[in-house]
Amino acid sequence: MLKLVPMITLSTHAVKPPAIQDHPLPSLEMARANPHWDRIVLHADMDAFYAAVEQRDHPELQGKPILIGSNSWRGVVLTASYEARPFGVGSGMPVAEARRRCPAALMVEPNFERYQHVSNQIMDIFADFSPSVETISLDEAFLDMTGAMHLFGEPSEMGRQLKARVFNETGLHISVGISGTKYVAKVASAHDKPNGLTVVPQHDAQQWLSVLPVNRLWGVGAKTTPKLEELGYKFIGDIASTDVRVLEQQLGMPGVHYHALAHARDPRRVERGKTSKSLGSDRTLSEDVSKPEDILVHLRRSAERISRRLRAKNYVAHGLRVRLKSRDFDMFTRQRKFPKPVDTADALISAAACLLTAFDRPGPFRLVGMVAFDLDWRDEPNQMDMFEDGAAHSLETTIDDLIDLFGSDVVVRARDLNAHGTVSKNGVNLDFVDTRDGERVSKPG
């Protein structure tokens, strides 16, 4: 395979965990010590997703050409294992045609429930790597990793860690592309499939793209490719070196768009939108509560749990939602955004106390809890001035250290003690991570 100059390509084609030390040394990235990254966009896409899940779960299919689909299911191949692909079969091909091209291939019926389950697992892993995850499909997402170097190291290291987590937790391989734009990250993740890791620093991206065929431009499909070739544009570099006015004249607005992509210009941000992660903690009580001061006791506990988890993950929250569930199981919520991002229990509890006054229902309530939402990276581990209250932040990080060393009972706030000098126990805590709308991964705590 032609190895293009400015990139790192790490690939193991056999089905085995990514052995980091086996990979060839990053070429250009090593040569140019620490290239500067204004933005880091990571694109991750599972390899032969449905087929890989079937091979994992049915050892007799491993190493064999398989097609996912059925004659009854729209009659098309949903995907083919990498063993079948050299025969020219793949997604969208009529099953009859695929069987003709690859007679040895075994047909496997899809099991969508299982694919959804694995998809949830990988999306949860993504959410641990970045608060800004844009899900594209069941097996594919963009992660904005800007500002995360102090947590994961160089971009190539981010990719290695993500691949290792996915493999360790699912037994499946994922290909990763990393660059300064969504476009180049996506082209890079497909560049060395399966089990690839390709890093293209932004300042090398145009050169890296230049030798790829024009059909690697977004928006250039089977119809446009021959049209571009007729005009003399075979490689992306041919588009990049042409005056944009000429392209516009020949192709209209798409010509301008191809020109920008060929120069590795793509201003689109990773849209976390509904995929943004939030952290929550609810408490279902053994005795219902009505009085604001009683509700606040429980909210304080939720605030402490959430803030510890925020700090442990180096996250800050831009918003807070308080949740109260009535005896009739109706859920009531009130929420607000913070003027500055927060990660302390103090900030969460002050906002919660404020929000509590906005509820127009008296109770009694059987569940109280809160959710910190619109999470973001804390830019620098010690960037204190970004917080409303630096003193509260250092006090709470000190408490984190004590709890890490001696366990959760080592420090108790005086206001949480009851008349007997003990912490009152009422109910069961449920901490959760919301990674997508309406979906929740719960962890009783």
Distance CA 118, CA 172 (A): 9
300 binds, among Mg ion, ligand TTP, none (CB under 5 to 8 A by kind): none
Residue with tokens 């997604």: 91
Would you say 139 or 304 has its CB closer to Mg ion?
Answer: 139
Residue 50 interaction partner, one of Mg ion, ligand TTP, none, beta carbon < 5-8 Å per kind: ligand TTP
Kindly give the pairing relationship between strand 66-68 and strand 278-289: unpaired
Binding residue (CB under 5 A) for Mg ion from 29, 54, 83, 139? 139
Minimum Å gap between C-beta 12 and ligand TTP is 14
Residues contacting 404, CB < 8 A, separation 6+: none
Is residue 45 close enough to count as binding Mg ion by CB under 5 A? yes
Residues 6+ positions from 75 with CB-CB distance below 8 Å? 69, 94, 95, 96
- Counting contacts by CB under 5 A, is residue 142 touching Mg ion? no
Q: Which is nearer to ligand TTP, 111 or 225 (CB)?
A: 111
Asked if 199 contacts 188 with a C-beta cutoff of 8 angstroms, the reply is yes
CB of residue 161 vs ligand TTP: minimum separation in angstroms? 20
Nearer to Mg ion, 195 or 302 (CB): 195
140 is known as an active-site residue: yes
Q: How far is 202 from 55, CA to CA, in rounded Å?
A: 37
Among ligand TTP, Mg ion, none, residue 193 binds (CB under 5-8 Å by kind): ligand TTP
Q: Which residues of 210-221 are buried (b: 16+ CB within 10 A; e: fewer)?
A: bebebebbeebe
Residues near ligand TTP (CB under 6 A): 45-50, 78-79, 91-92, 138-140, 193-194
Alpha-helical regions (H) of 182-252? 182-191, 202-210, 224-230, 236-240, 244-251
366 touches, from Mg ion, ligand TTP, none (C-beta below 5 to 8 Å by class): none
Length of the chain in terms of residues written: 445
Is 192 a residue that touches Mg ion (CB under 5 A)? Answer: no
Strand partners, 266: none
**C-beta of 89: minimal distance to ligand TTP in Å?**
12
**Rounded to the nearest whole angstrom, what is the least distance from the CB of residue 86 to ligand TTP in the complex?**
14
Question: Which is closer to ligand TTP, CB of 189 or CB of 307?
Answer: 189
Contact window for Mg ion (CB under 5 A) among 39-47, 144-152, 209-217, 400-408 = 39-47
Is 282 a binding residue for Mg ion by CB under 5 A? The answer is: no
Minimum Å gap between C-beta 179 and Mg ion is: 18
CB of 45 to Mg ion, least distance (A): 4
Please tell me which residue in 140, 154, 304, 396 is annotated as part of the active site. Answer: 140
**Nearer to ligand TTP among residue 52 and residue 430 (C-beta):** 52
Closer residue to ligand TTP (CB): 72 or 382: 72
Minimum separation from the CB atom of position 90 to ligand TTP (A): 8
Decide: 436 and 274 in contact? Cβ < 8 Å.
yes
Q: Tokens 């607005």 belong to which residue?
A: 253
Pairing of strands 428-436, 278-289: antiparallel
CB nearer to ligand TTP: pick between 79 and 307: 79
Q: Which of Mg ion, ligand TTP, none does residue 177 bind (CB under 5 to 8 Å by kind)?
A: none
Identify whether the C-beta of residue 11 lies closer than 8 Å to the C-beta of residue 196. Answer: yes
Output the DSSP codes for 9-52. Answer: EEE--SSS---GGGSPPPSHHHHSSS---S--EEEEEETTHHHH
Stretch that binds Mg ion, among 84-92, 139-147, 158-166, 351-359 (CB under 5 A): 139-147
Q: Over 119-137, what HEC string results?
A: HHHHHHHHHHHCCCEEEEE
Query: Do 94 and 70 touch, CB atoms closer than 8 A?
Result: no
Place of tokens 């990254």: 37
Residue type, 341: P
Residues that bind Mg ion (CB under 5 A): 45-46, 49, 139
Residues forming the active site: 140
